[in-house]
Structure 1
Amino acid sequence: MTLIGQLSQVRALGVVSRNGVEPYRGSALPEDSIARALEVGTLIAGSVEENRGRIRVTTRLVDGVSGADFQRDNFELPADAELELGDSLAQEVSRFLRERLGEEIRLRERRAATSSTEAWSLVQRAERLRKDALERADADLAGAFDTFEAADSIAGAAEVADPDWAEPVVLRGRIAYERVRLTEDAYDAVPWIEAGLGHAERGMEIERNYPEALALRGMLRYAHWELRVTEDPEEWRALLDGARQDLETAVNLDPTLAEAHVTLSYLYYQIDDVPAALLAARRAFEEDAYLSEANDVLWRLFWGSLDLEQFNQARRWCAEGTRRFPEDFRFSHCQLWLMATPATHAEVERAWELRESVEALAPEGRGDFARVQAHMLTAGAIARAGLVDSARAVLDAARARVTHDIDPTQDLLAVQAYVLTLIGDKDEAIDLLKQYKAANPDHGFEHTAGTVWWWRELRSHPRFREVTEP
């Protein structure tokens, strides 16, 4: 597919057709004149040349008003794969352009929404600090929180500079949301949730039904539900219902809110609506015009496909995530999941390598759950390779690592149960599923255990009804 074809699939972008741009190929006209003739805000220019068996592509993003370059990049690919070359180049260049265009277009939209130069400048500073804090969080959490504090202070100044602009208020809510995600103790996170909800509400007072404020409130409500800090079951369920309503309304108002689609995908999983979860992830993939949430989207697409036994698609999304985000531990993790299922062959040596990759890449503290889960999945891969005794020993070692702090909701019980089905110990698997069901009474496990493929090997067991009966 051509680059024009790739970009035309993104509904948020208006792309001139090949016939429309053809008269201007190789034109000596100034680039701002071409942009005016085509009635576009941004031009994509570039060149292709071959050198020593490699194709080098240079791309430039050109501002349609001034004619000045505001982004450029280079790509190289081997020249010997002629059939794949066009698609590969189009995909790589499309990804780069969507990311860079997103940054530029978001800046333009923000600038147009306020008449205050001071407020606009302060919001840009606060947003840069928010991103800086996220980047340093894994290595220096305390420093990240200091940076969040500075970002919030600057966003507050922007709010004062233009009280009628919702953007700085919602940005403060986003900063609070990031703090929630990075706070390890659930009860310590509650004040940040309350602060973020306050900002979201004020944003909607400034601009009624502001989609980003609605999405923020939905994400904060869902985060609050995940923390399980309320003892009132009705209040806890109301958080999930409220989050769903906010998020669904937000994406209906603005379908390009990829992060809201991703959160909806997680939420639908919690109510055991896997098809809806996969659909929400696909919507995120389609609507994320600028690939701002690409790693989360690919992770949700992988999981939705795996849960629906769509193994070809699961392999596809895992491979894409591995290629694009090699430093994201989740894409080592997804390869382990594939090896522990019928989706691919189990390779014991490779499974150990992937487990070590998760151990190294997962963040300290917050990544401990993933480390233990990867250890268990390694046992699953070993069991699928036929080394049952070794698998049992590895699983026992992994189980010894589990603590309440690592797995407060006891989700790892279900992982252990699945691995035990691979080992052949169905009675213990059923015992663990009963414990999991008791620990998660609102999960509705009894309604799905008899249909999802994960427990297919247990369905013929006489005791399986102990899991499926209410």
Structure 2
Amino acid sequence: MSFLFEDYCLDADRRELRRGSALIPVGPKVFDLLLFLVRNREQVVTRDDLLQAVWEGRIVSESTLTSHINAARNAIGDTGREQRLIRTVFSKGIRFVGKIVEAESTADGSVTNESTAIGKLVLTLPDSPSIAVLPFRNLSGNVEQDYFADGVVEDIITALSHIRWLFVIARNSSFTYKGKSVDEKQVGRELGVRYVGEGSVRQSESRIRITGQLVDALAGTHLWADRFEGRLDDIFELQDQIANSIVGAIASQLERAEIERAKRKPTGSLSAYDNYLRAMPHLHRGTREAIDLALPLFYKAMQLDPEFASAHAMGAWCHVWRKINGWMTDREQEFAEGVRLARLAVELGKDDAVALTRSATALAHLAGDLDGGIALIDKALVLNPNLAAAWFLGGFLKTESGDPDAGIEFLLRAMRLSPLDPEMFRIHAGMALSHLFAERFDIATLWAEQSFRQLPVFLLLVAIFAASHALAGRTERAGKAVDHIRKLDSTFRISSLQGWIPIQRPEHIALFENGLRQAGLPE
């Protein structure tokens, strides 16, 4: 039995803990402790429970027990302070609180597939990321529910097919595996894909539960798993919602997996797409040094493939980020270059949702074309309604155009589609800006604090932080935020708001200026 949570796989049979394709070394007692917590996740586990299960009743010191709990947390990226997965229940014990999906561990070996002849072919992997989504298993005991499971999978395949950089196996080939027990490695070889998506459907009275998971077929490791639930009151709307959620999660996990693969490739064999992937982690980090590393890689990708629309758009977006944080050294030249790249990306990527999304932000922030930017976001979402970046950057543009509540809806959709997004600090900043303009200052500061923890060098975020605290009456904290602004950009003033970000409504500019003024920022 394997237990899947976040991007970890705890394999009880092989006694292995993996994150994606990487094996995480853990000691025998730490593995036993973690496995016991996972298996007993519905209850609080006491000290005596652990001593009996892990140490077979032997007495061990409190420090030994604590060190093993800390080691278990460390192995799964948790801490005693964060307690994201292993939570301490005061004076009672500890409990595993992460979402778990259970899966049967499969033994290595081939699977006979008599219904398809392609198993006889040797298929090479495409240059781009490749995936097959298999029919979901119907666990309801009611064959009449097959149509619902099949419909979800067909929607997922259709939506993934809209992602230009992804090679997707057609529905007719994927569905040859319907009703069969499969081995993901064998499926990968037979269909010539690196990734396999699969899942199950279970109905209980008026509710339905769908689990989905993503497997690296080459390595045979789980990359992602999640569970989706809902009522059957409107089964087709539920089907669409679940398909959208799974697609957003799969796309995000695929991008992360491909970025990690690109990092490991030797420098001498890079193609345009590899340069693009190597740039993305730097872009996600968002520091000045990281953007300085990302931009040349995007330009290298453009040089290798002059029609690579997304590379042009990401280059334009880097100039936007430099503008917002006050990092430009030649504003006039960088504005012109960012606009040039964005317009070229739109021309090259008329059907590329990623290119349209990043170009939309660049044209809004560098060319002042906010309405045009929103129109491009709308087009991107028609092309790929599951692109989290389109929802979060669209949220910023909606808020800047004067509709913060619409912006919040966009940003919440982005978080739902990509709950582990590497750009989450930007989404949180968007929520803070939206609530600031909606005059919900306490809520704005809460979102700002979350973003600040991830990237304290984000100038716009710190300005939102200062203004929100000041308008909420917390002048001391607002003053500390202004001190931090001065460290980031000693030239930043209240007058800097004019032309900084494309805020359309005068009352929103006035509100922002008033907050910074009360916080103590000079005119």
Q: TM-score, normalised by structure 1?
A: 0.52
Cα gap change, 1:56 to 1:255, in 2 (>3 Å): farther
Partner of 1:308: 438
Q: Distance in 2 between matches of 1:325 and 1:87?
A: 30
Partner of 1:198: 344
249, 273, 276: which one aligns with 1:123? 273
The answer (yes or no) to whether the contact 1:221–1:243 under 8 Å persists in 2 is yes
Cα gap change, 1:172 to 1:334, in 2 (>3 Å): closer
Amino acid at match of 2:303: G
Amino acid at match of 1:179: H
Cα gap change, 1:26 to 1:284, in 2 (>3 Å): same
Matches within 5 A, 1:92-171: 105-106=254-255, 121-129=271-279, 132=282, 138=288, 144=292, 148-149=295-296, 151-157=298-304, 159=305, 168-171=308-311
- Pairing 1:82–2:222 present: no
Q: Distance in 1 between matches of 2:465 and 2:390?
A: 26
Q: CA deviation at 1:273?
A: 1.4
The answer (yes or no) to whether the contact 1:111–1:120 under 8 Å persists in 2 is no
Cα gap change, 1:128 to 1:306, in 2 (>3 Å): same
Deviations 1:92-130 (A, max 9, x none): xxxx989x9988621667999xxxx99974422344246
46, 67, 70: which one aligns with 1:56? 70
Structure with greater proportional strand content: 2
Amino acid at match of 2:89: E
The answer (yes or no) to whether the contact 1:251–1:257 under 8 Å persists in 2 is yes
Cα gap change, 1:299 to 1:58, in 2 (>3 Å): same
Q: CA deviation at 1:197?
A: 1.9
Partner of 2:166: none
RMSD: 5.3
Q: TM-score, normalised by structure 2?
A: 0.47
Partner of 2:159: none
Partner of 1:355: 482
Q: Percent identity?
A: 12
Q: Distance in 1 between matches of 2:367 and 2:78?
A: 44
Cα gap change, 1:44 to 1:137, in 2 (>3 Å): closer
Partner of 2:399: 269
Q: Distance in 2 between matches of 1:81 and 1:30?
A: 25
Cα gap change, 1:45 to 1:85, in 2 (>3 Å): farther
Structure with greater proportional helix content: 1
Give the number of aligned pairs. 320
Partner of 1:242: 372
- Pairing 1:175–2:315 present: yes
Amino acid at match of 1:270: E
Amino acid at match of 1:123: Y
Cα gap change, 1:295 to 1:336, in 2 (>3 Å): same
The answer (yes or no) to whether the contact 2:317–2:359 under 8 Å persists in 1 is no
Q: Distance in 2 between matches of 1:243 and 1:322?
A: 27
Q: Distance in 2 between matches of 1:191 and 1:296?
A: 23
Q: CA deviation at 1:87?
A: 8.6
Q: Distance in 1 between matches of 2:347 and 2:269?
A: 20
Amino acid at match of 2:312: R
Q: Distance in 2 between matches of 1:152 and 1:352?
A: 40
Partner of 2:416: 286
SS at structure 2 position matched to 1:76: coil
Q: Distance in 2 between matches of 1:274 and 1:288?
A: 21
Q: Distance in 1 between matches of 2:474 and 2:17?
A: 54
Partner of 1:234: none
Cα gap change, 1:104 to 1:282, in 2 (>3 Å): closer
Deviations 1:175-220 (A, max 9, x none): 233135434655421233223321332233xxxx222233234233
Q: Distance in 2 between matches of 1:338 and 1:418?
A: 7
Amino acid at match of 1:124: D
